[in-house]
Amino acid sequence: MSSGVAVEAARVVDAGDYRVTIGAGLRHDLGRLVAAAAPAHHYAVLTDDDVAPHYGAALQAGLTRHGRVTMHRMRAGEAHKTRETWARLTDELLDAGCGRDTTVVALGGGVVGDVAGFVAATYMRGVPVVQCPTSLLAMIDASVGGKTGVDTAAGKNLVGAFHAPAAVLIDVETLRTLPAAHLRAGLAEAIKHGAVADAAYFARVEALLPLVLAGEPAATLELVARSVEIKATIVRADVREAGLRKTLNFGHTIGHAIEQASGYSLLHGEAVAVGMVLEARLAERIGVAERGTAREIERVVRAARLPVARPESLGPAAVLAATRHDKKARGGAVAYALPARVGAMAGAERDWAIEVGDSLVLEVLA
């Protein structure tokens, strides 16, 4: 595919300080697009052992005409999203002689994007990062909004920084190499975008699901582009998550807790799928959501072949305990982003963060 075709076919979403370009075949022109968005003397590509064999060499070759290029790999998976990986990659860049005139290129899924973004955020007090997400989750969620970070034993994303990318470059064709379970997990965030902000899109996601799971490019591009639009609109309105952006945490308080309590044996999207169903039930239980909201969400989650219940191996008390380490906890109480109905969130008058007592949460977890 020629570079002209790749760029012509692309959709561009304005995310405020940067643009998200979504196309089919963009990877063939990625070096040029990265260099145009964040010109540098040195391009440090951060990727992982799963993604590098597919797309590493082509990106490296494409960047070589624009500057020095070095490749830096981490092991794949959430278990390696740690301060230790961040420190090792930072030291690799220092050893490679990267100065402030370096652009970090994140090539991979959400874990690579988060770690590489945090490396860039803290490298000599910040160098640019271009996000090139290759998983559905990273495309529609992690790559937009500037959140970067790593996990600790105490929980997910507890250490990190806001560091907006210079650009986000998405080639939906890279989803062909994504394992099916990860593709389904990414759909959880698309369902969330509909549930949180757009009932029409929620219905459209349900219709697109089988096509996206079958790898149909036009359907995938439509879903990614609309999800990115919704997320970018919310993030532009509230970069620092002081208010509206909290609505994107729907499903994530219980979701993170399940993910952590399971030792990350569930994928993030799988945990969020369960979290959305249970938090929607919680919302109905405390009377902020219309009756039937949880059932509707559960139906679409099931259609994506995602889990709808807490793993039996995790007791309700263990999950509840894990919610206490959530960043959204304030003054000891745990706050939730809860729906009013499909397409609209509750709690605007409470900054979109609704505190719920332990006994009610346990009831829903039981």
If one asks whether residue 243 binds a copy of itself (CB under 8 A), the answer comes out as no
Contact with a copy of itself (CB under 8 A) among 257, 328, 345, 352: 328
Q: CB-hemisphere CA count at 13 Å for 145?
A: 29
Phi, then psi, of 355 in degrees rounded to 5: -80, 135
Q: Which of 173, 222, 229, 241 is an active site residue? A: 241
Residue with tokens 């196309």: 23
CB of 23 to a copy of itself, least distance (A): 30
Cβ proximity to a copy of itself, 124 vs 199, nearer residue: 124
Is 125 an active-site residue?
Answer: yes
If one asks whether residue 109 binds a copy of itself (CB under 8 A), the answer comes out as no
Contact with a copy of itself (CB under 8 A) among 83, 204, 236, 285: 83
Cβ proximity to a copy of itself, 10 vs 353, nearer residue: 353
Is 268 an active-site residue?
Answer: yes
Indicate the SS3 state at residue 366.
coil
Contact with a copy of itself (CB under 8 A) among 103, 157, 227, 323: 157
Phi, then psi, of 36 in degrees rounded to 5: -70, -35
Which residues sit opposite 355 in a β-bridge?
335
Query: Residue 66: left (phi > 0), alpha (psi -120 to 50), or beta?
Result: alpha
**Pairing, β 147-152 against β 155-162:** antiparallel
If one asks whether residue 88 binds a copy of itself (CB under 8 A), the answer comes out as no
Kindly provide the residue ranges of all beta strands, DSSP E only, lying in 228-365, ordered along the sequence.
Answer: 335-336, 339-341, 344-345, 354-355
CB 305 within 8 A of CB 323: no
Contact with a copy of itself (CB under 8 A) among 214, 287, 313, 331: 331
Per-position b or e across 68-93, b if 16+ CB within 10 A of its CB: bbbbbbbebebebbbeebbeebbebb
Contact with a copy of itself (CB under 8 A) among 126, 210, 263, 357: 126
If one asks whether residue 330 binds a copy of itself (CB under 8 A), the answer comes out as yes
End-to-end CA distance of the chain: 53
If one asks whether residue 176 binds a copy of itself (CB under 8 A), the answer comes out as no
The token pair at 238 is: 């509230």
Contact with a copy of itself (CB under 8 A) among 87, 180, 218, 360: 87
Is 256 an active-site residue?
Answer: yes
Phi, then psi, of 338 in degrees rounded to 5: -120, 145
If one asks whether residue 123 binds a copy of itself (CB under 8 A), the answer comes out as yes
If one asks whether residue 122 binds a copy of itself (CB under 8 A), the answer comes out as yes
Cβ proximity to a copy of itself, 126 vs 357, nearer residue: 126
Binding site for a copy of itself (CB under 8 A): 41, 83, 87, 90-91, 94-95, 97, 99-101, 121-126, 147-149, 152-155, 157-162, 324-325, 327-332
Residues identified as active-site: 125, 147, 189, 231, 241, 245, 249, 252, 256, 268
